[in-house]
Every structure is written in structure tokens, then in C-alpha cells.
Structure 1
Amino acid sequence: MTTINITAQTNDVSQIEVIKAVMKALKIKFEMSFEKPYNTEFVAMIQKTEKEFSSGKGVKMDLNKMKEACK
């Protein structure tokens, strides 16, 4: 028996079901794991920031102001 790792980037649940059906039809034993590439708290923070910025709550700085803020 040979073991390989396959990463499938699906668009919806129906595609996952098709992949499972194909594997079963070919009588291939398989395991599924649903890993998220990013920490969910980090993603939520970024999404919140993007939403705030798009609603006008962000601050725009030029490069010189940014350098001054980082001193």
C-alpha cells in the first residue's frame, strides 16, 4: 500500500461529496481533515478592520507620517 497526501481546494460541499464518492467507487481508503490555514481570531480581526476602514473609520498616512509614528 502507498500513502499520498492530496489537497483539494473546493468551492462548496457538493464538490467534497463528489470526491468522496469517487474514492469510494475506486475502493480507495481515505481520511479527510478540514484544516484552516489561518487562525480564526486573526481572520476576524482583519475582517473587522477592513469593515471599519471601508466605513471611513481608518486613518490615511503618507510614508513620512508613518516613519514618525514608528519612532
Structure 2
Amino acid sequence: MEAYVVYPENKEQLSALKAVLKALKINFEPQVSAPLPHHAIKGMKHGIEDLDNGRKIPFSEFEELLTRNP
């Protein structure tokens, strides 16, 4: 059987969706997304800042750096 992920945009949509699922006797379970850890957000912001300031290399060079410095 197929499964679907839906993204209600507000409380009204969520409420209506739950009501329809219950009326059709379709099992469902909420999936609460956890916020990203602080260090992950900090790393992403740093990476975006690097890109904005022209600090970037092609992926092929990055792969080469990884193989040279294990």
C-alpha cells in the first residue's frame, strides 16, 4: 500500500485533514520534526557565508583533498 506525506499550511488545514482521515477510518500518526542542533545551523550559516564571499572549490577538488588527507 502507498503512504503519503502531506504538509498542511495552517491549523485549519490540519484539523480538516485529521477529520477526513478519521471519517474514512484511515490510520495515521503525527511526525513531529525536531529542530536541527545548534552546531548544524552554525555550520550551514558558515557555509553560506563562505559561498557569498567567493570561498568555494569544485567538488572534484574537494574529493581530491579528502583522498590526500584521510
Q: Return the TM-score normalized by structure 1.
A: 0.45
Q: Return the TM-score normalized by structure 2.
A: 0.45
Higher relative helix content: 2
